[in-house]
Amino acid sequence: MPIRTVVWGENVHEQTNRTVAALYPGGMHRAIADALNADAGISATTATLQEPEHGLPAARLAETDVLLWWGHAAHDKVDDAVVARVVEAVWAGMGLIVLHSGHFSKVFKRLMGTPCNLSWREAGERERIWLASRAHPIARGLPDHFEIEMEEMYGEPFGIPEPMETVFLSWFQGGEVFRSGVTWRRGAGNIFYFRPGHETYPTYHNPLVQQVLRNAVHWAHNPAPRIADATAAPNRPVGEALEPLTERGGKLHQPGEEGFR
């Protein structure tokens, strides 16, 4: 069965900025989903901010193996209930790929526990992406470096937790560097952040960028059944202890009582 993938797009600048609309007539989310669907092992659909529940009702998330997230101008318009739902789906095993300006999305900040800040410049400068981890699954079929002729600059320091793996590093024409492809695991969910993708440039039409995204979907997919109780904190009563045990000392809790949280 192909990997059930949802591309979430904020879909704001596509409606308000002529450059963006011309580059992505169907929206960036549509362009990304099309690129993913070129891989027979992936089945990608889209969701947007403007749909009810931002297109991410619980039933749909339950059937989503990997979610891609692109947002920029409307991070604060994303409903906190949907954010909580997405975060819990990641903990339960859904893969998550956060794109470009999604570094400041509520979802990403919540999962990282850090400010996720950086420096930036919108000047259409050259970005060169270097592979730091050879033969990594996310780099399948890619050369050791490739260029995106016009991109927004993101510069270090990047306010993230130390990643599980550093896959890509970027060089910028104006003199900055950036950790452009980095992975983490949060609960049972695999997370990949990928830097390129400013909306006024044709980045998502770049075949190598598309290849990274397809690879990342495969990498992020956790085929294990979704964890049903990803936040549970079960009591293991004395009577069911794995080794013989006699209760001692003072107590707070009555038998069968739930813990505090």
* Distance from C-alpha of 236 to C-alpha of 23, rounded to nearest angstrom: 57
Question: Is 80 near a second copy (CB under 8 A)?
Answer: no
Closest to a second copy by CB, 1 vs 242, is 242
Selected range binding a second copy among 39-47, 51-59, 60-68, 73-81, rule: CB under 8 A: 73-81
Question: Is 219 near a second copy (CB under 8 A)?
Answer: no
**Closest separation between CB of residue 22 and a second copy, Å?**
9
Question: Is 112 near a second copy (CB under 8 A)?
Answer: yes
Torsion of CA 159, 154, 67, 185, to 10 degrees: -30
Closest to a second copy by CB, 60 vs 104, is 104
> Whose CA is closest to 32, among 199, 261, 184, 144?
199
**Closest separation between CB of residue 226 and a second copy, Å?**
8
Half-sphere exposure of 117 (CA within 13 A, CB side): 2
Amino acid at 222: N
Question: Is 117 near a second copy (CB under 8 A)?
Answer: yes
Contact between 209 and 219 under an 8 Å Cβ cutoff? The reply is: no
Encoded tokens for 223: 């085929």
Question: Is 205 near a second copy (CB under 8 A)?
Answer: no
Q: Please identify which residue in 24, 193, 194, 201 interacts with a second copy, judged by CB under 8 A.
A: 201
* Distance from C-alpha of 7 to C-alpha of 25, rounded to nearest angstrom: 16
Question: Is 34 near a second copy (CB under 8 A)?
Answer: no
Between the CA of residue 199 and those of 60, 63, 96, 117, 216, what are the distances in Å? 27, 28, 20, 19, 20
Question: Is 225 near a second copy (CB under 8 A)?
Answer: yes
**Closest separation between CB of residue 241 and a second copy, Å?**
4
* Of residues 138-197, those binding a second copy (CB under 8 A): 140, 144-145, 150, 153, 155-159, 161-166, 169-177, 179, 184-188
